A and B are shown apart, each in its own frame.
Chain A
Amino acid sequence: MLSEPLIWLVTAIVGLITLTLRSSFIVLAGRISMPDLLLRGLRFVPPAVLAALIVPPLVFHASVVNLPWVEALPWLNERTLAGTFAVLVMWRSRSVLLTIVAGMVSLWVLQWLL
Chain B
Amino acid sequence: MSTLTTSSVVSPRSALLAGAKVAAPTLLSIFPFGMITGVAAVSVGFSEALSVGMTVLIFAGASQLATIQLVTTGATIAAILLTATMINLRFMLYSASLSPHFSTLPLYWKLLLGYSITDPAFGMTIADLNERIPQQLKHWYFIGASGIIWVAWVVGTILGTILGRGVPPEWSLDFAIPLNFLAVLVPSIRDRATVTSALVGALVAIAAVRLPFNLGLITGALSGIAMGMLMETLLKRKERSHAE
A interface residues with partner B (beta carbon < 8 Å): 1-2, 4, 6-8, 10-15, 17-19, 21-30, 33-34, 38-60, 79, 82-83, 86-87, 90-91, 94, 96-97, 99-100, 103-104, 107-108, 111
CB distance from A82 to the nearest CB of B (A): 7
B224 touches A11 (CB 8 A): no
B10 CB within 8 Å of chain A? no
B111–A83 touching, CB < 8 Å: no
Chain A residues closer than 8 Å to B199, beta-carbon distance: 51
Question: Measured between alpha carbons, how far is A29 from B185 in the docked complex, in Å?
Answer: 31
Q: Which of B47, B183, B222 contacts A90 (CB 8 A)?
A: B183
Report B199 CB to chain A, min CB distance, Å.
7
| Known contacts A14-B58, A26-B102, A55-B205; A42/B80 CB under 8 A | no
Instruction: Please report the total number of B residues contacting A with Cβ < 8 Å.
Output: 93
- Check A47 against B194 for contact (C-beta < 8 Å): yes
Q: With both chains docked as a complex, state the minimum distance between the C-beta of A104 and any C-beta of chain B, in angstroms.
A: 6
Secondary structure at chain B's binding surface: helix, strand, loop or mixed?
helix
Tell me whether A41 and B91 are in contact (CB under 8 A).
Answer: no
Are the C-beta atoms of A52 and B204 separated by less than 8 Å?
yes
Alpha-carbon distance between A15 and B232 when the two chains are bound, in angstroms: 33
A-B contact pairs, 15 of them (CB 8 A): A10-B81, A22-B91, A24-B96, A25-B96, A26-B98, A34-B93, A38-B92, A40-B232, A46-B184, A47-B197, A51-B205, A90-B182, A90-B183, A90-B187, A100-B183
Which of B13-21, B63-71, B154-162 forms part of the interface with chain A?
Answer: B63-71
Q: Which of A22, A42, A43, A51 contacts B95 (CB 8 A)?
A: A22
Name the B residues within 8 Å of A18 (CB-CB).
Answer: 58-60, 63, 84, 88, 91
- The one of A30, A38, A44 that contacts B228, using a Cβ cutoff of 8 Å: A44
Interface contact B188-A50, CB-CB below 8 Å: yes
Q: Across the interface, name the chain A residue whose C-beta is closest to B73.
A: A57
- Given the contacts A52-B201, A79-B175, A14 and B183 also touching, CB distance less than 8 Å: no
When C-beta atoms are compared, the residue in chain A nearest to B87 turns out to be A49
